[in-house]
């Protein structure tokens, strides 16, 4: 096939041989990945949306605007916001301390930072509930101050903050590590105070990472279930989270209602994921100057 065409070179790219891949395994890895993603991710997800779409708009609307459900949206979103805001501040502090200072126990502190990711949520849940219970290690002192955490929305915030703590730390840390000392030196040599340098030089570089970490933390908190239910008290209209609402509907064998609420939650999660991805893409592009 090779030699005959040589005298008259094929004029169009169409006749070019199918691009050979130099490294092996393209077909195999593409096949396995697509098969796995379709079967494990896409099929179940589309199943949910088809189920939710099948129930008719009116019924769907009725289910997802049920006052108890609406109350749970509010509780979840507010608690997740509070938790991720807390994590933005706490996470920045921890990342800063881990990167900038040398002190005994730094490595240990760094290692333990991932505990919330590694610890099963149910274990985190009963642990926090026990700590903050009326007679718990923390609860007894907080009670004296008149602060109740267990079985209140505040407990939800604590649980969400715990499980999503590492996000901000781990997104800010690498950015801090890569900052060149020269920028700060330049600003200081121009007479700026520490606080000014922090605000004008460091923050503009840091905040995209903080926002990304905060958004990830928020997304995770929205769906948190295991850690929350033990400490939340789960009283209707006050301290029920969305995930729990879905669970409650399931236990009532009300599958359509559960799917409807789940479809709402799923849509929000996917949108958040998309926004975070696009945002990260932009932000990375800007950093790399592309």
258 is an interface residue for other proteins by CB under 8 A: yes
Judged by CB under 8 A, the stretch of 65-73, 108-116, 144-152, 231-239 that binds other proteins is: 108-116
119: left (phi over 0), alpha (psi -120 to 50) or beta: beta
Phi and psi of 122, rounded to 5°? -65, -40
Q: Which of 205, 233, 254, 269 binds other proteins (CB under 8 A)?
A: 269
Q: Which residue among 72, 84, 116, 213 contacts other proteins (CB under 8 A)?
A: 116
The count of chain residues that interact with other proteins, using the rule CB under 8 A, is 105
**Between 8 and 58, CB nearer to other proteins:** 8
What's the min distance (Å) between Cβ of 287 and other proteins?
A: 15
- Contacting residue, 80, 83, 243, 257, with other proteins by CB under 8 A: 243
| Contact residue for other proteins among 222, 231, 232, 257 (CB under 8 A) | 222
Rounded CA gap, 233 and 226, in Å? 13
Using N-to-C axis directions, what is the helix angle for 43-53 and 255-288, rounded to 10°? 130
Residue 71 or 119: the one with the smaller Cβ distance to other proteins is 119
Interface with other proteins (CB under 8 A), residue from 80, 206, 246, 257: 246
Contacting other proteins within 54-73 (CB under 8 A):
none
User: Whole-angstrom Cα distance, residue 93 to residue 198?
Assistant: 13
Judge whether 52 and 217 are in contact, CB under 8 Å. Answer: no
Q: Give the footprint of other proteins on residues 21-60 (CB under 8 A).
A: 21-26, 28-30, 32-33, 36-37, 40-45, 47-48, 51
Contact between 120 and other proteins per CB under 8 A: yes
Q: Distance (Å, rounded) from C-alpha 116 to C-alpha 176?
A: 22
The DSSP letter of residue 15 is G
Distance CA 245, CA 258 (A): 8
Q: Which of 53, 185, 235, 286 binds other proteins (CB under 8 A)?
A: 185
Shortest separation between residue 67's beta carbon and other proteins, angstroms: 21
Among 61, 255, 284, 287, binds other proteins (CB under 8 A): 255
For 289, list phi and psi in degrees, rounded to 5.
70, 20
190 touches other proteins by CB under 8 A: no
What b-and-e string marks burial along 172-208, b requiring 16 or more CB atoms within 10 Å of the CB? bbebbeeeeeeebeebeeeebeeeebeeebbeeebbb
């Amino acid at each position: 096939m090779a030699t005959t065409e040589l005298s008259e070179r094929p004029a169009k790219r169409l006749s070019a041989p199918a691009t050979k891949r130099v490294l092996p395994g393209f077909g195999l890895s593409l096949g396995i990945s697509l098969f796995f993603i379709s079967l494990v991710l896409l099929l179940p997800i589309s199943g949910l949306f088809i189920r939710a779409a099948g129930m008719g708009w009116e019924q769907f609307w009725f289910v997802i605007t049920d006052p108890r459900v609406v109350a749970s949206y509010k509780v979840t979103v507010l608690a997740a916001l509070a938790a991720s805001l807390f994590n933005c501040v706490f996470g920045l502090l921890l990342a800063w301390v881990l990167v900038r200072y040398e002190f005994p126990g730094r490595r240990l502190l760094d290692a333990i930072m991932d505990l919330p990711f590694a610890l099963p949520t149910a274990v985190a849940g009963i642990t926090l509930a026990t700590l903050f219970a009326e007679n718990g290690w923390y609860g007894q002192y907080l009670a004296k101050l008149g602060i109740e955490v267990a079985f209140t929305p505040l407990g939800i915030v604590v649980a969400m903050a715990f499980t999503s703590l590492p996000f901000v730390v781990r997104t800010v840390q690498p950015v801090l590590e890569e900052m060149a000392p020269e920028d700060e030196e330049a600003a200081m040599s121009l007479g700026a105070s520490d606080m000014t340098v922090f605000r004008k030089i460091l923050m503009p570089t840091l905040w995209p990472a903080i926002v990304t970490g905060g958004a990830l933390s928020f997304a995770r908190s929205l769906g948190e279930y295991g850690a929350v239910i033990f400490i939340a008290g789960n009283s209707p209209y006050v301290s029920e989270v969305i995930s729990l609402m879905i669970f409650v509907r399931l236990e009532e064998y009300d599958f359509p209602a559960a799917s409807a609420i789940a479809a709402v939650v799923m849509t929000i999660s996917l949108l958040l994921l998309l926004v975070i991805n696009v945002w990260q893409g932009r932000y990375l592009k800007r950093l790399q100057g592309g």
